[in-house]
Chain A
Amino acid sequence: QSVLTQPPSVSAAPGQKVTISCSGSSSNIGNKFVAWYQQLPGTAPKLVIYDNNKRPSGIPDRFSGSKSGTSATLGITGLQTGDEADYYCGTWDSSLSAYVFGTGTKVTVL
Protein backbone atom coordinates (compact mmCIF):
# COMPACT_ATOMS: atom_id res chain seq x y z
CA GLN A 1 0.00 0.00 0.00
CA SER A 2 1.77 3.13 -1.25
CA VAL A 3 1.68 6.33 0.76
CA LEU A 4 1.64 8.39 -2.44
CA THR A 5 -1.62 8.32 -4.40
CA GLN A 6 -1.88 8.82 -8.16
CA PRO A 7 -4.83 8.40 -10.56
CA PRO A 8 -4.70 4.98 -12.27
CA SER A 9 -4.91 6.46 -15.76
CA VAL A 10 -5.14 9.65 -17.78
CA SER A 11 -5.57 10.11 -21.51
CA ALA A 12 -5.64 12.78 -24.18
CA ALA A 13 -5.31 13.21 -27.92
CA PRO A 14 -1.97 13.84 -29.63
CA GLY A 15 -0.81 17.41 -29.14
CA GLN A 16 -2.95 17.92 -26.07
CA LYS A 17 -1.89 18.20 -22.42
CA VAL A 18 -2.21 15.82 -19.50
CA THR A 19 -1.55 16.35 -15.82
CA ILE A 20 -0.86 13.67 -13.24
CA SER A 21 -1.35 14.32 -9.56
CA CYS A 22 0.56 12.77 -6.66
CA SER A 23 -0.92 13.16 -3.20
CA GLY A 24 1.09 12.56 -0.05
CA SER A 25 1.54 13.95 3.43
CA SER A 26 3.73 16.19 5.55
CA SER A 27 6.21 13.34 6.15
CA ASN A 28 6.97 13.00 2.47
CA ILE A 29 5.90 15.48 -0.24
CA GLY A 30 5.22 18.22 2.30
CA ASN A 31 8.87 18.43 3.34
CA LYS A 32 10.85 16.70 0.60
CA PHE A 33 11.68 17.15 -3.05
CA VAL A 34 9.62 15.13 -5.53
CA ALA A 35 10.83 13.20 -8.56
CA TRP A 36 8.91 11.75 -11.49
CA TYR A 37 9.81 8.66 -13.46
CA GLN A 38 8.62 7.46 -16.87
CA GLN A 39 8.47 3.72 -17.54
CA LEU A 40 7.89 2.75 -21.16
CA PRO A 41 6.50 -0.77 -21.66
CA GLY A 42 9.09 -3.45 -20.94
CA THR A 43 11.83 -1.01 -19.99
CA ALA A 44 13.49 0.38 -16.88
CA PRO A 45 12.19 3.59 -15.31
CA LYS A 46 13.67 6.89 -16.49
CA LEU A 47 13.96 10.09 -14.48
CA VAL A 48 12.04 12.97 -16.10
CA ILE A 49 11.70 15.46 -13.21
CA TYR A 50 13.68 15.93 -9.97
CA ASP A 51 13.67 18.53 -7.20
CA ASN A 52 9.95 19.14 -7.92
CA ASN A 53 10.47 20.92 -11.22
CA LYS A 54 13.95 20.35 -12.68
CA ARG A 55 14.50 18.39 -15.88
CA PRO A 56 17.56 16.15 -16.38
CA SER A 57 19.61 16.73 -19.48
CA GLY A 58 17.82 15.40 -22.55
CA ILE A 59 14.29 15.64 -21.17
CA PRO A 60 12.20 17.98 -23.38
CA ASP A 61 10.54 21.03 -21.87
CA ARG A 62 7.16 19.46 -22.69
CA PHE A 63 7.59 17.81 -19.28
CA SER A 64 7.08 20.01 -16.23
CA GLY A 65 6.67 19.52 -12.51
CA SER A 66 5.21 21.48 -9.64
CA LYS A 67 4.49 21.06 -5.96
CA SER A 68 2.05 22.66 -3.57
CA GLY A 69 1.76 21.60 0.04
CA THR A 70 1.47 17.83 0.18
CA SER A 71 0.72 17.32 -3.51
CA ALA A 72 2.80 17.33 -6.66
CA THR A 73 1.87 17.43 -10.33
CA LEU A 74 3.52 16.28 -13.55
CA GLY A 75 2.44 17.97 -16.75
CA ILE A 76 3.06 16.78 -20.28
CA THR A 77 2.21 19.13 -23.14
CA GLY A 78 2.22 18.44 -26.87
CA LEU A 79 1.41 14.80 -26.15
CA GLN A 80 3.07 12.26 -28.45
CA THR A 81 2.50 8.55 -28.96
CA GLY A 82 5.99 7.99 -27.55
CA ASP A 83 4.79 9.42 -24.23
CA GLU A 84 2.53 6.40 -23.65
CA ALA A 85 3.97 4.93 -20.48
CA ASP A 86 3.50 4.47 -16.76
CA TYR A 87 4.53 7.46 -14.65
CA TYR A 88 5.52 7.30 -10.99
CA CYS A 89 6.17 10.03 -8.47
CA GLY A 90 8.76 9.40 -5.75
CA THR A 91 10.23 10.99 -2.65
CA TRP A 92 11.70 10.21 0.76
CA ASP A 93 9.37 9.66 3.68
CA SER A 94 10.85 10.81 6.98
CA SER A 95 8.42 8.79 9.08
CA LEU A 96 9.06 5.54 7.25
CA SER A 97 12.78 6.28 6.71
CA ALA A 98 12.27 4.95 3.22
CA TYR A 99 11.95 6.14 -0.35
CA VAL A 100 8.36 5.84 -1.49
CA PHE A 101 6.86 5.65 -4.96
CA GLY A 102 3.40 6.62 -6.06
CA THR A 103 0.83 4.07 -7.18
CA GLY A 104 1.59 4.84 -10.82
CA THR A 105 -0.43 6.39 -13.65
CA LYS A 106 -0.83 4.99 -17.13
CA VAL A 107 -0.82 7.67 -19.82
CA THR A 108 -2.71 6.80 -23.00
CA VAL A 109 -2.56 8.83 -26.19
CA LEU A 110 -5.94 8.54 -27.90
Chain B
Amino acid sequence: EVQLVESGGGLVQPGGSLRLSCAASGFTVSSNFMTWVRQGPGKGLEWVAVLYRGGGTKYADSVKGRFTISRDDSKNTVYLQMNSLRAEDTAVFYCARDPPETGHDAFDVWGQGTMVTVSS
Protein backbone atom coordinates (compact mmCIF):
# COMPACT_ATOMS: atom_id res chain seq x y z
CA GLU B 1 0.00 0.00 0.00
CA VAL B 2 1.27 3.44 -0.92
CA GLN B 3 1.48 5.45 2.28
CA LEU B 4 3.14 8.42 3.98
CA VAL B 5 3.42 8.69 7.76
CA GLU B 6 4.60 11.91 9.39
CA SER B 7 6.06 12.24 12.87
CA GLY B 8 8.04 14.68 14.95
CA GLY B 9 5.49 17.37 15.65
CA GLY B 10 4.95 18.88 19.08
CA LEU B 11 5.14 21.98 21.23
CA VAL B 12 8.22 24.18 20.83
CA GLN B 13 9.11 27.63 22.10
CA PRO B 14 9.57 30.58 19.74
CA GLY B 15 13.08 30.51 18.32
CA GLY B 16 13.34 26.77 18.80
CA SER B 17 13.87 23.93 16.35
CA LEU B 18 12.02 20.79 15.33
CA ARG B 19 12.62 18.08 12.75
CA LEU B 20 9.66 16.43 11.05
CA SER B 21 9.93 13.02 9.42
CA CYS B 22 7.87 11.52 6.63
CA ALA B 23 8.28 7.76 6.16
CA ALA B 24 7.15 6.39 2.82
CA SER B 25 6.02 2.88 1.99
CA GLY B 26 4.87 1.29 -1.25
CA PHE B 27 7.00 3.59 -3.41
CA THR B 28 10.48 5.16 -3.56
CA VAL B 29 10.78 8.80 -2.49
CA SER B 30 13.87 9.35 -4.62
CA SER B 31 11.82 8.58 -7.76
CA ASN B 32 9.39 11.38 -7.03
CA PHE B 33 9.32 15.02 -6.09
CA MET B 34 8.36 15.27 -2.41
CA THR B 35 6.74 18.27 -0.81
CA TRP B 36 5.60 19.66 2.53
CA VAL B 37 2.34 21.57 2.90
CA ARG B 38 1.03 23.19 6.08
CA GLN B 39 -2.33 24.37 7.34
CA GLY B 40 -2.65 26.84 10.18
CA PRO B 41 -5.59 26.53 12.61
CA GLY B 42 -8.78 27.31 10.71
CA LYS B 43 -6.79 28.38 7.65
CA GLY B 44 -6.19 27.17 4.11
CA LEU B 45 -3.37 25.13 2.63
CA GLU B 46 0.09 26.66 2.27
CA TRP B 47 2.89 25.06 0.27
CA VAL B 48 6.16 24.99 2.21
CA ALA B 49 8.91 23.22 0.25
CA VAL B 50 9.72 20.72 -2.49
CA LEU B 51 12.60 18.25 -2.88
CA TYR B 52 13.36 17.25 -6.46
CA ARG B 53 14.58 13.83 -7.57
CA GLY B 54 18.07 15.19 -8.19
CA GLY B 55 18.25 16.71 -4.71
CA GLY B 56 17.44 20.29 -5.61
CA THR B 57 15.06 22.20 -3.37
CA LYS B 58 12.70 25.14 -3.40
CA TYR B 59 11.01 26.95 -0.50
CA ALA B 60 8.16 29.32 0.18
CA ASP B 61 9.39 32.83 0.98
CA SER B 62 7.84 32.55 4.45
CA VAL B 63 10.25 29.74 5.45
CA LYS B 64 13.28 30.38 3.25
CA GLY B 65 16.49 30.38 5.29
CA ARG B 66 14.78 28.76 8.28
CA PHE B 67 13.50 25.41 6.97
CA THR B 68 15.43 22.66 5.16
CA ILE B 69 13.92 19.73 3.28
CA SER B 70 16.02 16.61 2.80
CA ARG B 71 15.74 12.86 2.41
CA ASP B 72 17.44 9.64 3.46
CA ASP B 73 17.15 7.17 0.60
CA SER B 74 18.24 4.26 2.79
CA LYS B 75 15.25 4.92 5.04
CA ASN B 76 12.92 6.05 2.24
CA THR B 77 12.14 9.04 4.43
CA VAL B 78 11.83 12.78 3.85
CA TYR B 79 12.59 15.35 6.53
CA LEU B 80 11.77 18.97 7.27
CA GLN B 81 14.25 20.66 9.60
CA MET B 82 12.62 23.75 11.06
CA ASN B 83 14.73 26.37 12.83
CA SER B 84 13.99 29.82 14.29
CA LEU B 85 10.35 28.85 14.69
CA ARG B 86 7.74 31.57 15.07
CA ALA B 87 4.19 31.60 16.40
CA GLU B 88 2.92 31.93 12.84
CA ASP B 89 4.52 28.56 11.98
CA THR B 90 1.90 26.84 14.16
CA ALA B 91 0.14 24.44 11.81
CA VAL B 92 -0.55 20.88 10.80
CA PHE B 93 2.28 19.85 8.49
CA TYR B 94 1.54 17.38 5.69
CA CYS B 95 4.03 15.47 3.58
CA ALA B 96 2.89 14.72 0.02
CA ARG B 97 4.10 12.96 -3.12
CA ASP B 98 4.46 14.87 -6.37
CA PRO B 99 4.85 12.11 -8.95
CA PRO B 100 5.81 12.18 -12.62
CA GLU B 101 2.43 10.63 -13.43
CA THR B 102 0.72 13.93 -12.61
CA GLY B 103 3.29 15.92 -14.52
CA HIS B 104 4.65 17.11 -11.20
CA ASP B 105 1.71 19.50 -11.02
CA ALA B 106 -0.29 17.74 -8.33
CA PHE B 107 0.15 15.90 -5.05
CA ASP B 108 -1.44 12.47 -5.21
CA VAL B 109 -0.51 10.86 -1.87
CA TRP B 110 -0.70 12.70 1.46
CA GLY B 111 0.26 11.77 4.99
CA GLN B 112 -2.10 12.15 7.93
CA GLY B 113 -0.31 15.28 9.14
CA THR B 114 1.63 16.20 12.27
CA MET B 115 0.82 19.18 14.48
CA VAL B 116 3.45 21.79 15.28
CA THR B 117 2.66 24.35 17.97
CA VAL B 118 5.02 27.26 18.56
CA SER B 119 4.26 28.90 21.88
CA SER B 120 5.91 29.97 25.10
- The reply to whether A99 and B50 form a contact with Cβ atoms under 8 Å apart is yes
Whether B44 is near chain A, meaning CB under 8 Å from some CB there, is yes
Rounded to whole angstroms, the CA-CA distance of A32 and B44 in the bound complex is 21
Rounded to whole angstroms, the CA-CA distance of A84 and B44 in the bound complex is 16
Q: In the complex, what residue of chain B is closest to A101 when comparing beta carbons?
A: B45
- The reply to whether B44 and A2 form a contact with Cβ atoms under 8 Å apart is yes
Knowing A2-B44, A45-B94, the reply to whether A50 touches B112 (Cβ < 8 A) is no
Rounded to whole angstroms, the CA-CA distance of A98 and B60 in the bound complex is 6
Number of interface residues of B (CB under 8 A): 22
Whether A60 is near chain B, meaning CB under 8 Å from some CB there, is no
Counting residue pairs across A and B whose Cβ atoms lie within 8 Å, the total is: 67
Main SS class of interface, A: strand
CB interface residues, B 58-112, toward A, < 8 Å: 58, 60-61, 94, 96, 102-103, 105-108, 110-112
Q: In the complex, what residue of chain A is closest to B111 when comparing beta carbons?
A: A44
* Nearest CB in chain A: distance from B69 CB, A: 13
Whether B117 is near chain A, meaning CB under 8 Å from some CB there, is no
Rounded to whole angstroms, the CA-CA distance of A44 and B108 in the bound complex is 11
* Nearest CB in chain A: distance from B116 CB, A: 15
* Nearest CB in chain A: distance from B88 CB, A: 14
Of B37, B45, B47, B96, the most chain A CB neighbours within 10 A belong to B45
Whether A104 is near chain B, meaning CB under 8 Å from some CB there, is yes
* Nearest CB in chain A: distance from B75 CB, A: 22
Rounded to whole angstroms, the CA-CA distance of A104 and B47 in the bound complex is 14
Q: Which 3 A-B pairs have the closest CB atoms?
A: A35-B106, A50-B106, A99-B47
17 A-B residue pairings within 8 Å (CB atoms):
A2-B44, A32-B105, A33-B103, A35-B106, A44-B113, A47-B106, A47-B107, A50-B103, A50-B106, A51-B102, A90-B106, A98-B58, A98-B61, A99-B47, A99-B50, A101-B37, A102-B44
